[in-house]
Amino acid sequence: MLPWFRNQFPIYLAPMAGVTDVTFRTLCKELGADVMVTEFVSAEGILRADHRTRRYTTFTDSQRPVGIQLFGANGSRMGEAAKKIIEWKRPDFIDLNFGCPVNKVVSKNGGSSLLKDCPLLVDTASKIVKAVGDEVPVTGKIRIGWDQNSVNAPTVCRLLEDTGIQAIAVHGRTRAQGYRGEADWEVIDQCAQSVGIPIIGNGDIDSAQTLKDRKEKTSVSGVMIGRAAMHNPWIFSEAKSYLQSGTLPPPPSMETRWSFIIRHCRLAVESDRYGTEKHTLMAMRSRLMTYCKGFPGAKPLRQQLSQVLSIAEVEDIAAQNSQLTYQQSD
């Protein structure tokens, strides 16, 4: 049993390429996220030791337990890459991406395409688990199937369990759905009831109340939160409080929210992930706009934030807006 499931119900921050970089992971950890997974990285990128891949896999000790997520199309190469990244970074676990819907990944037999080919999925996972040996645990992340006519997640979970995979995050949508429709928590629950390893439920958890409901009505051993954390990173502390006492802390004030946003910008510049301050702020514009959900005057604010080039500009916008009251909805 992975130690973070022992007598606990861990709340994972979902891996999100371009979003859950080292900075955002630090912030979410502070707010109560228990387990982190890096943005996915290509096994081939690791084998080439390219600069970008190294940056994507950066994490700090305070973020542990943290997993590095790999995608690829060839089990032997992914096994080699896993060994190499373990040697470089010493993550707590390796996570295998069997859920990515993106054409560029799927067309090369990576990500969710393996859900259509169970023998290849088993071969790929087995090779990686064997290559990693007992260095660190290997986990997986899947969708519930390729499309509505081939929902096979419970079978896939059983097959992956037999390969030695030690936990599986199940996003309750098919590849064909992309991010449309609702996550199917009945299938997620069937997965949890089909295997002995922990299943982490993922999809559409957007509040502490939803999280508690999923915990109580399904057999999952933990949950994973993605998009909701992008505009409400306090969801982790809210959920913990709600699970523990049934009460929610008061919503963060506008002042707290703007301080958080400015700190996010500062840490991102310091992390050097996106280059100069100007390049970092340009890379962060859409992230900053996402934070505005529920802010008074969100529309003009988004317009302003879509043009920022420096932290000073964000500070000016914050100074003009900090005294307003948060409204819960946009």
Ligand X SMILES: Cc1cc2nc3c(=O)[nH]c(=O)nc-3n(C[C@H](O)[C@H](O)[C@H](O)COP(=O)(O)O)c2cc1C
Residues near ligand X (CB under 6 A): 14-19, 39-40, 69, 97, 99, 141, 171, 202-205, 225-228
Secondary structure class of 26 (helix, strand, coil) = helix
Instruction: Give the count of beta carbons closer than 10 Å to the beta carbon of residue 5.
Output: 18
Beta partners for residue 326, in sequence order: none
Q: How far is the CB of 311 from ligand X (least distance, A)?
A: 24
**Least CB distance to ligand X at residue 319 (A):** 30
Beta carbon of residue 232, minimum distance to ligand X (angstroms, whole number): 11
Q: Which is nearer to ligand X, 156 or 254 (CB)?
A: 156
Whether 158 contacts 195, CB under 8 Å: yes
* Among 5, 39, 30, 8, CA closest to 226: 39
What's the half-sphere exposure (Cβ side, CA atoms, 13 Å) at 11? 31
Our CB check for ligand X shows the closer of 14 and 284 to be: 14
Pick 226 or 252: Cβ nearer ligand X: 226
**Closest to 95 in 3D by CA, of 120, 70, 118, 77:** 70
Place of tokens 């699970």: 243
Hey, how many other C-beta atoms are within 10 angstroms of the C-beta on 178?
Answer: 11
Catalogue the active-site residues: 100
Q: Is the sign of the CA dihedral 86, 92, 98, 104 positive or negative?
A: negative
**Least distance to ligand X, CB of residue 235, Å:** 10
Minimum distance of ligand X from residue 253's CB (angstroms): 25
| Residue 4 vs 185, nearer CB to ligand X | 185
Helix segments in the chain, DSSP class H:
22-30, 43-47, 51-56, 75-89, 103-106, 118-132, 153-163, 185-194, 208-217, 227-231, 235-245, 254-271, 277-291, 298-305, 311-321
Question: Would you say 223 or 317 has its CB closer to ligand X?
Answer: 223
Query: Nearest approach, Cβ of 123 to ligand X (angstroms)?
Result: 20
**What are 86's two structure tokens?**
């373990």
Nearer to ligand X, 128 or 228 (CB): 228
**Cα–Cα distance measured from residue 207 to residue 330, given in angstroms and rounded to the nearest whole number:** 16
